[in-house]
């Protein structure tokens, strides 16, 4: 009897000491890649009900997004003779929809028989969200694109091309745009144009169609750097803090030690 009780106790202790079933570990969230696809955002805006606009934007870190000015100013509604209430611009980024406020807007005029024309070629707008999403962000290239340089345009679609030359506006004060020998559709304005090797930001898709079929124009990197450099708290071509970014090669001034 004593031996039976001892055996029963041993069995009970063995059962209590058995290893518990393994806990199910949560699946790891895939890390966002340091490639241009991770920088792309969608912009929603315009006027209600008949002038809703949809375009693209590029994340620069610190909750800031760069897009085309004509997506957030009154140029397109004036061209379309729209009335209505201006809509609060929204950014859709990494699964979140965020209201944004305007930090800086390129200065544009509506020219008869031409359309929107922007001083210094700055068809650009810088937007600020209330929070700063973590993860990689884009950095402007020092300059470019150079003719023949391989570029990627990411607008929900992926276009690969070799850049053309600069196309100056009629007035020198209105700057110049870089030519891309590809057709870009409505809704692709504001998209980032990236160097195919380093992934630095070479340009932003602008409003101006080229006179030649199947050509488009972009705001080049030098114009972007100047535009960002005039924002208080944001040095020339420098992305705000708040995550890792795609590194850009140093500019000539930086190489000379003057930046």
pLDDT tens digits, the chain, 259 residues: what are they?
Answer: 444 444 334 433 333 444 444 544 434 434 445 566 789 999 999 887 778 889 999 999 999 999 999 999 988 888 888 888 888 999 999 989 999 999 999 998 888 877 889 999 999 999 999 988 888 899 999 999 999 999 999 988 889 999 999 999 989 999 999 999 998 888 899 999 999 999 999 999 997 655 677 889 999 999 999 999 977 555 444 545 444 555 443 333 333 333 3
**Domain covering 36-238 in this structure, CATH number:** 2.40.10.120
Instruction: Write down the pLDDT at residue 234.
Output: 55
Alpha-carbon distance of 56 to 71, in angstroms, equals 9
Give the phi and the psi of residue 90 in degrees, each rounded to 5. Answer: -125, 145
Domain boundaries, the chain: 36-238
Which pairs with CB-CB distance under 8 Å and at least 24 residues apart come from 28-37? Answer: 32/94, 32/135, 32/136, 33/136, 34/136, 34/199, 34/244, 34/246, 35/199, 35/246, 36/138, 36/152, 36/154, 36/192, 36/194, 36/199, 36/246, 37/154
184, 205 Cβ separation under 8 angstroms: yes
* Residue (of 50, 43, 48, 114) closest to 72 by Cα position: 43
58, 192 Cβ separation under 8 angstroms: yes
Instruction: Write down the pLDDT at residue 110.
Output: 84
């Amino acid at each position: 009897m004593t031996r039976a009780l001892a055996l029963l106790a041993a069995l009970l202790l063995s059962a209590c000491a058995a290893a518990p079933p393994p806990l199910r570990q949560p699946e790891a969230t895939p890390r966002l890649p340091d490639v241009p696809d991770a920088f792309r955002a969608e912009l929603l805006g315009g006027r209600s009900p008949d002038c809703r606009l949809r375009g693209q934007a590029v994340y620069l870190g610190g909750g800031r997004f760069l897009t085309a000015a004509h997506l957030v100013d009154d140029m397109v509604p004036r061209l379309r003779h729209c009335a209505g209430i201006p809509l609060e611009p929204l950014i859709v980024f990494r699964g979140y929809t965020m209201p944004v406020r305007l930090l800086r807007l390129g200065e544009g005029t509506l020219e008869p028989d031409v359309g929107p024309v922007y001083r210094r070629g700055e068809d650009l707008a810088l937007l600020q969200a209330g929070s700063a999403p973590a993860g990689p962000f884009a950095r402007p290239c020092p300059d470019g694109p150079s003719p023949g340089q391989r570029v990627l345009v990411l607008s929900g679609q992926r276009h690969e091309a070799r850049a053309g030359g600069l196309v100056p506006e009629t007035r020198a004060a209105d700057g110049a745009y870089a030519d891309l020998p590809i057709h870009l559709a409505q809704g692709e304005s504001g998209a980032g144009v990236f160097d195919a090797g380093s992934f630095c930001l070479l340009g932003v898709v602008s409003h101006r169609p080229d006179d030649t079929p199947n050509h488009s124009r972009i705001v080049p990197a030098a114009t972007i750097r100047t535009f960002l450099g005039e924002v208080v708290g944001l040095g020339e071509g420098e992305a705000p803090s708040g995550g890792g970014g795609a590194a850009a090669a140093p500019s000539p001034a930086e190489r000379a030690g003057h930046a």
